[in-house]
Structure 1
Amino acid sequence: MKKIYALFLCFFFIFQANTGFCAQFIEGFEDIPLLSGLKQSPEGTLTFGNEEAGYTETTLVAKKALTFEKVKLFYTEALAQMGWARLSSNNTTFSFLRENDILEISQTQKHPLKITISLKSKN
């Protein structure tokens, strides 16, 4: 049992070191992780809709030097593990699809890095 526990801890720390993953999630998004080095804007999260269709949007700001490429790499890896499939990508925006939801991540400012994350129901 101790070996299994030790193996689990090793895997956890290796995964954490490689992806920058942390245990925090973005407020208003039930399972979208918050990349270490980003913080949610104090303006909060915009949400509207009903059970059939909805829209949620928030802004994240870099607390330290962080590039949009690093953001892309982190979310591409992390979201794939959560069942999201990559839809499109360009220099300032990339998006994912899971079931009836589309998640879009866009760079809105370069220095300091500011990104907008939006989740919209496809219905």
Structure 2
Amino acid sequence: MRLAFVAALSLPLLLAGGPGLARPVEPGYVPGVEDLPLMPGLTAPTNGAVVFDQPEGRIVESAAQGDVSADAINAFYSQTLPQLGWRAAGAGRWARDGERLEITATRDGTGSRAETMVRFVLRPQ
């Protein structure tokens, strides 16, 4: 009886997802970077960013994943980031106001289980 009661109480929590589980963020931003949009189709852990504030500037490392091609990710950020003041600084690299941003996308898995992992690294220039 106790087990059934605990299971009944736990089910809504499992279905809703707990802290740190990946869930869609729409519209959303890359965790740790309040002005960097998260591409639709990507999900990110709610507490998945590592953020350091230092006198030279902030350092943020964050990640997201989804069933989106690396080409689509690159196209999205190539179109979006210039509108936010970022300047292209090489393949997957951007610069703005003394900061540099690097975005890398790699495909993991095969077949229907394949997902693209996207890594965002923001550092002072």
Q: TM-score with structure 1 length normalisation?
A: 0.70
2:82 counterpart (80, 88, 112): 80
1:99 counterpart (82, 97, 116): 97
Instruction: State the number of aligned residues.
Output: 95
Alignment-mate amino acid for residue 25 of structure 1:
Y
CA contact 2:70–2:107 (8 Å) conserved in 1: no
User: Residue 37 of structure 1 aligns with which residue?
Assistant: 41
How large is the RMSD of aligned CA atoms in angstroms?
1.7
CA contact 2:31–2:46 (8 Å) conserved in 1: no
Q: Deviations over 1:67-120 (max 9, x none)?
A: 00000000111101001001111xxxx110002000100124443110100100
Question: Measured at CA, do residues 78 and 112 of structure 1 come closer, stay the same or move farther in structure 2, by a change above 3 Å?
Answer: same
| Higher gyration radius (CA) | 2
Aligned partners of 1:24 and 1:112: how far apart in 2?
Answer: 19
Gapped regions of structure 1 (runs ≥ 5): 1-21
Spell out structure 1 runs of 4+ moving beyond 3 A.
none
- Secondary structure, aligned partner of 1:76: helix
2:62 is the alignment partner of 1:68: no
Percentage of identical aligned residues:
24
